[in-house]
Amino acid sequence: MKNRQHSEEPRIFIDSRGRWFHDGVRITHRWTYLENNKNLDVDEDGRFFVQEGGSRVYVECEDTPFVVTMVGKTEDGFSVRLNDESREKLDLTTFTIAEQNIPYIKVKNGKFEARLLSTAYYELMRHAGKDEKGFYLEFGGNRYYLHTTQEP
């Protein structure tokens, strides 16, 4: 019987564009890539890992494990498409703009943060308005102001 171990040293790396690498080699096999995304989790210390059976492999992220590749306008707001090919409703209450004007949202029921790729961000901002309070997105009679996490 094989003794399964949990490797504390990350063998998987996710770059800022959501591309996965295993031991320095980019994962290009679609099923493997999607399966890794599906099995991604975070432990109580905030470390990302992939769990398959009794084996846990830790994951290092350059920024976030998920990225928003597309944004679309819907009847009740906006939807996003993530790098794992899933679609979700955009929760604008989680939208923030961090250092270097990088936009982020929460995804997967708020469990993970996702970076908006520039094309997705530009598509979202096509629907933005601006008033004395700043930039906002409006739907359902509500304005959602886009705030930054930067200090003034």
Residue 100 pLDDT exceeds 90: no
Strands 129-131 and 134-139: antiparallel
Rounded-to-integer distance, Cα 152 and Cα 143, Å: 23
Contact (CB, 8 A) for 73 and 87:
no
Residue 141 pLDDT exceeds 90: no
pLDDT band at 2 (very low <50, low <70, confident <90, very high): very low
How do the domains of the chain map onto residue ranges?
6-61, 66-148
pLDDT in tens, 59-91: 999 999 999 999 999 988 899 999 999 999 999
CB atoms inside a 10 Å sphere around CB 149? 10
Residue 11 pLDDT exceeds 90: no
Q: What does the pLDDT average to over 10-21? A: 94
Task: Report which of 48, 53, 52 is spatially closest to residue 12, judged by C-alpha positions.
Answer: 48
DSSP 117: P
Q: Which two tokens stand for residue 54?
A: 């009794």
* Global pTM value: 0.85
Class of domain 6-61: alpha beta
Q: Strand, coil or helix: what is 31?
A: helix
Mean pLDDT of the chain: 89
pLDDT band at 124 (very low <50, low <70, confident <90, very high): very high
